[in-house]
Amino acid sequence: MTKLSVNINKIATIRNARGGSIPNLVEAAKRIESFGAQGITVHPRPDERHITYQDVRNLQPVVKTEFNIEGNPTPTFIDLVLKNKPMQVTLVPDAPDAITSNAGWDTKKHKDFLVEVIAEFKRNGIRTSIFVDPVVEMVEAAKHTGTDRIELYTEDFASGYEKGNLDTIRPYIASAKVANRLGLGINAGHDLSLKNIKYFKENIPNLLEVSIGHALISEALYDGLETVVKKYLQLLK
């Protein structure tokens, strides 16, 4: 079964719109785990516009499943991760002013930087994953960074699927086959939803984990958080 890690950034966005602690992020994480999700993902950004650094510190002792911290490995982010020691860190090359992640790493251009950062996390017992576009060349170069896994950036697939263009899955299949051959674990995320997750999962060999936030929280507004989490779990079997 492919594991479901729920990104709770959007819950923090709702909280921050009013200030205070409603909805409560820790309580939300506990409930999501109790509904069966196998992980909690957070993506703190420098301006802390949704997940704050204090949120990470609050969640670290509470999350009992896999805790995954995503972000651009700036010195401040690296320090946060090393102090909180999640099970997994996902490195994403997003600019400080990015609304959301919009591209994977150029794993050839940034190889030396990634090698250094990944080695530091691995010395501290933290599994590493790096965000990559579904480009075979970038997957092959990712192997030389020392990362444990790649996370396939799935916006192009989701956009194509919405338009009925199922051929957009092809680069992902090719990239997954290369990752499997190289011994890289495969995660995926961005714009995956109840509409497209089953097709994506069925076509990607050895998909280990998906990280889903925006769609899942939006769908939960209609059907409830427990119902939606359990729907994803069923589709990921």
Please, what is the average pLDDT of the chain? 96
Residue 102 has pLDDT above 90, yes or no: no
The letter for the amino acid at 78 is I
Residue 128 has pLDDT above 90, yes or no: yes
Please indicate whether residue 70 is annotated as part of the active site.
yes
| Contact between 82 and 56 (Cβ < 8 Å) | no
Read off the pLDDT of residues 175-192 as tens digits, 9 standing for 90 and up.
Answer: 999 999 999 999 999 999
Please indicate whether residue 144 is annotated as part of the active site.
no
Read off the pLDDT of residues 10-52 as tens digits, 9 standing for 90 and up.
Answer: 999 999 999 999 999 999 999 999 999 999 999 999 999 999 9
State residue 187's pLDDT score.
98
Q: Which of 43, 66, 209, 219 is catalytic?
A: 43
Contacts of 159 (CB under 8 A, 6+ apart): 168, 191
Contacts of 156 (CB under 8 A, 6+ apart): 134, 168, 171
Read off the pLDDT of residues 62-82 as tens digits, 9 standing for 90 and up.
Answer: 999 999 999 999 999 999 999
Cα angle for residues 220, 221, 225 (degrees, 5° grid): 30
- Domain parsing of the chain, residue ranges: 3-235
Q: Which of 33, 70, 151, 219 is catalytic?
A: 70
Q: Is the preceding peptide bond at 23 cis, omega within 30 degrees of 0?
A: yes
Please indicate whether residue 66 is annotated as part of the active site.
no
Q: Hey, which CATH number is domain 3-235, 3.20.20.70, 3.90.1150.10, 3.30.1280.10, 3.90.230.10?
A: 3.20.20.70
Q: How far is CA 213 from CA 39, 184, 193, in A?
A: 12, 24, 9
Q: Which of 33, 190, 209, 219 is catalytic?
A: 190
- Predicted TM-score of the model (pTM): 0.95
Contacts of 51 (CB under 8 A, 6+ apart): 8, 9, 12, 25, 42, 43, 44, 45
Helices (H), 35-169: 53-59, 75-84, 111-123, 136-142, 155-162
